[in-house]
Amino acid sequence: MNNSTQSGIGSSAQSLTSLAISSHIADELNTSNEPSTADEASGSELSVEHKIVTGAGHSVVLKVFMSQLKPVKGVCVVAAATGVAQHLYQDFAIWLTSLGYDVVTFDYDGIGLSVATHVKHCKSDLLGWANHDCPAVLAFVESHFIDLECIWIGHSVGGHLLGMMPNTGNISRAITVAAGTGTWWYNSAPTKRVAWFLWYFLVPVTVPTLGYFPGDRLKIMCDLPKGVMMQWRRWCLKEGYAVEGEGQWLRDRFANVNVPITAIAFSDDEMMSMKNIDMLHNQFSGANVTRKTVRPEDMGHKRIGHIGWHKGRYQNMWEKVFTPLL
């Protein structure tokens, strides 16, 4: 495909998207491009980068943030939302170290530092992240943080993957944040108004043509692998989301998770409705799930939303919401 054709598709899709999405929602979809409020030098001093090889043969890049407090209480694994690179959780990771936890962040295959060449060459899908990337990260944690409690903190799809992994044996407990099914007709109103456009037009047109989802160009999330976007689309068009799309074996994986889960929801989440969040956590039928809804006004904020809670400006919310859970 020549560059003019690609440019035409990108500009047309972006124009249509801007018509469909209010500036407020467009800004929220773009928060993944915000610079971190943490000091870059302090972040690099506190973190060490590792490249690990998954069972599928591709590499995943993770960062380890070491607490300066002794004894260390445990290790927190921060699993990102779709299209949100690990460096955007740096503020949150550094704060966790101040509480006495070592922290591991990572980029799924095809995201951030885990892009080998170009995202269009990435063969992973969401189940690949669950079957290969997450187990490789947990194996790293098990071998490097011996005898420490492992807490999985999954943001959005990071919460989904908890139920999709082959096993969660070395996870002691989990916190999900803004994690719900993607079934689009149950999404919060701002997203529901535009989700049909994303799933029925934008993705089917751009992804097969370009070989990946051009999120950077469209200013929606970031560039995403073809397999991820097409699988996500297929699930979002089903009432039962992923378990309906994949069948009983995946339903069983969710049911087999038996670690305690605290599900944090934000009342102003413009993507996930409370129904989406309940539908996802009802699939963890073998786990003790505690639900907690956070209202921005109770935290002294005008809004929190789906993406951005992990930035430093929300530290007072972390102290009120996360500290009692850790």
* Structure confidence by residue, pLDDT tens digits, 153-201: 999 999 999 999 999 989 999 999 999 999 999 999 999 889 999 999 9
| Cα-based torsion angle of the residue sequence 48, 38, 174, 159 in order, rounded to the nearest 10 degrees | -100
**Mean pLDDT of the 265-273 span:** 96
Strand order in the sheet with 47-53: 47-53, 59-65, 101-106, 74-79, 149-155, 173-177, 261-266, 289-294
Q: Give the CA distances from residue 251 to residues 158, 166, 247, 262, 308, in Å, rounded to whole numbers and listed in that order.
A: 17, 12, 7, 20, 30
* Structure confidence by residue, pLDDT tens digits, 59-97: 999 999 999 999 999 999 999 999 999 999 999 999 999
Spatial distance between the Cα atoms of 112 and 224, rounded to a whole number of angstroms? 10
pLDDT band at 44 (very low <50, low <70, confident <90, very high): low
Name the 3-class secondary structure at 137: helix
Query: Residue 35: pLDDT above 60?
Result: no
pLDDT of residue 46: 75
Indicate the domain borders of the chain: 3-325
High-pLDDT (> 70) share of the chain, %: 86
| Cα-based torsion angle of the residue sequence 19, 20, 26, 30 in order, rounded to the nearest 10 degrees | -100
What stretches of the chain adopt beta strand conformation (E)? 47-53, 59-65, 74-79, 101-106, 149-155, 173-177, 212-213, 224-225, 261-266, 289-294
**Mean pLDDT of the 12-36 span:** 42
Spatial distance between the Cα atoms of 298 and 302, rounded to a whole number of angstroms? 9
| Pair 180, 98: CB distance under 8 Å | no
Pick 3-325's CATH classification: 3.90.1150.10, 3.40.50.1820, 1.10.260.40, 3.40.50.300.
3.40.50.1820
Name the 3-class secondary structure at 209: helix
Long-range residue pairs from 138-142, CB within 8 A, at least 24 positions apart, any chain: 138/77, 138/165, 138/170, 138/171, 140/50, 140/52, 140/62, 140/104, 141/75, 141/77, 141/104, 141/170, 142/170
| Pair 141, 75: CB distance under 8 Å | yes
pLDDT of residue 7: 45
Query: Residue 217: pLDDT above 70?
Result: yes
User: Over the chain, what is the mean pLDDT?
Assistant: 89
